[in-house]
Amino acid sequence: MVQDALNAVCDDIEGCESLAFVDLSTRMVLVSNASTRESQDTLNTLCAEAALLLETGQIAMAASSDHVHLFMRSPTEPSDALCCICAPGTNFSALVPAAQACLSTISGDGS
């Protein structure tokens, strides 16, 4: 069910290459979208990056000219977070609310 929600966001929004649901307290990647091409090591690094950048708030971003990494923490379950690897040309106006809705659904605070 969780992977279905992650897959749906990646399928709907071009450029959203990888989406992972992580536990910030244990720094573990719990589930990622089925079509991700990232290795487990890369996802683990992404999770560590999320834990670092989300220490202060609910949302963070780290971008180079090649990729944009988005991080979102659940407002109701502080250990739950989404990590996203996007291409630069991604429709971020669509992705940000879609990812937030996805996280709300997964964390059970969406209804």
Alpha-carbon span 38 to 56, nearest angstrom: 27
Alpha-carbon span 14 to 94, nearest angstrom: 10
- Exposed/middle/buried for 111, CB within 10 Å: 0-12, 13-18, 19+? exposed
Among positions 1, 39, 41, 56, the unique one binding another protein when judged by CB under 8 A? 56
In the complex, the smallest distance separating the C-beta of residue 66 from another protein, rounded to whole angstroms, is 6
Stretch that binds another protein, among 2-10, 16-24, 30-38, 42-50 (CB under 8 A): 42-50
In the complex, the smallest distance separating the C-beta of residue 76 from another protein, rounded to whole angstroms, is 16
- Determine how many CB atoms are found less than 10 A away from the CB of residue 51: 20
Asked if 59 touches another protein (CB under 8 A), the answer is yes
Among positions 55, 76, 101, 108, the unique one binding another protein when judged by CB under 8 A? 55
Q: Look up residue 1 and give its two tokens.
A: 């069910």
Asked if 92 touches another protein (CB under 8 A), the answer is yes
In the complex, the smallest distance separating the C-beta of residue 60 from another protein, rounded to whole angstroms, is 6
Can you name the residues that pair with 28 across neighbouring β-strands? Answer: 23
Alpha-carbon span 3 to 44, nearest angstrom: 17
Residues that bind another protein (CB under 8 A): 45, 48-49, 52-66, 68, 70, 86, 88-90, 92-93, 95-96
